[in-house]
């Protein structure tokens, strides 16, 4: 059974038909990339999974649970965490306080501290900055914190929305390396990413959305070589060597 399955999902924003019957499957242990142009429906797909928007039609199931029957705040207890686009850290709070908020449903304080140590192992910079106000950190550090905060609930499925947005290439490489390590340690990842080439090198499989529908899907390695992907998302033939 798939860990996550979307079937025939339609989402509207008023009269705007944002998702038009999306079908998507994520198996346990995978990194799956969700690619496409701005406005294609990528972030809406993640928001539908995490309960922030409600589909008008279709089904979303996570390990047998019907997510459409649950309020968003109950999903972390099931094992679903969402690191949203734009990071959205709590600027007036410290790194430690942001991480603690990510574990708000965890009653076992020893387990929370163990998870905090895990996050600091993944992101040593956060340990160095643990008493710093999040709002004074760089964009890359805030992205690390957004991911770390999501990990504090010990998710089985991590939804990542545009983790490379606005970051320098060196920082992007560091964050993508850490995403691979998070996955290696047992967390399944559904990744929305504008940097299609980097996402396809990281992911096992990928879906490409166009105006709210799945246009292309398949193994990431195949899509890297697909001429349609080359022309539309990977910078043309000249980008193949990158």
Closest CA to 84 of 49, 60, 119: 49
pLDDT at 237: 41
Spatial CB neighbours of 238, under 8 Å, sequence gap ≥ 6:
none
User: CA-to-CA distance for 19 and 241, rounded, in angstroms?
Assistant: 34
The beta-carbon contacts of 36-39 under 8 Å, at least 24 apart in sequence, are 36/208, 36/209, 36/210, 36/215, 37/210, 38/194, 39/211
pLDDT digits (tens, 9 = 90+) for 78-109: 999 999 887 788 889 999 999 999 888 777 88
pLDDT at 233: 73
The three-state DSSP-derived secondary structure of 75-97 is HHHHCEEEECCCCCCCCCCEHHH
Query: What does pLDDT average to in each consecutive run of 10 residues of the chain (242 residues)?
Result: 94 96 97 93 96 96 94 92 84 93 84 95 95 93 94 96 89 94 97 92 95 94 86 54 29
CA 19 to chain centre: 18
pLDDT digits (tens, 9 = 90+) for 143-177: 999 999 999 999 999 999 999 888 889 999 999 99
Q: Which domain holds residue 166?
A: 4-241
pLDDT at 91: 86
pLDDT at 148: 95
Number of separate domains in the chain: 1
pLDDT at 240: 33
pLDDT at 241: 29
CATH number for the domain harbouring residue 55: 3.40.50.300
pLDDT at 176: 95
């Amino acid at each position: 059974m798939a860990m996550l399955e979307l079937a025939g999902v339609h989402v509207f924003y008023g009269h705007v038909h944002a998702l038009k019957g999306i079908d998507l499957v994520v198996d346990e242990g995978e990194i799956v990339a969700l690619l496409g142009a701005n406005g294609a429906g990528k972030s809406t797909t993640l928001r539908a999974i995490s309960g922030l928007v409600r589909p008008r039609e279709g089904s979303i199931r996570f390990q047998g649970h019907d997510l459409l029957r649950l309020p968003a705040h109950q999903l972390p207890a099931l094992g679903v965490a969402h690191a949203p686009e734009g990071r959205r850290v709590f600027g007036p709070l410290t790194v430690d306080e942001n991480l603690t908020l990510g574990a708000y449903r965890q009653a076992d304080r020893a387990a929370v501290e163990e998870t905090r140590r895990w996050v600091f192992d993944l992101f040593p910079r956060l340990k160095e900055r643990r008493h710093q106000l999040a709002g004074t950190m760089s964009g890359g550090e805030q992205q690390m914190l957004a991911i770390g905060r999501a990990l504090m609930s010990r998710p089985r499925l991590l939804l990542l929305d545009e983790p490379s947005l606005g970051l320098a290439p060196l920082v992007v490489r560091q964050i993508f390396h850490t995403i691979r390590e998070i996955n290696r340690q047992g967390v399944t990842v559904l990744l929305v990413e504008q940097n299609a080439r980097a996402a396809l090198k990281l992911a096992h499989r990928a879906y490409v959305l166009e105006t709210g529908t799945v246009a292309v899907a398949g193994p990431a390695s195949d899509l890297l070589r697909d001429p349609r992907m080359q022309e539309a998302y990977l910078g043309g033939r000249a980008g193949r060597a990158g």
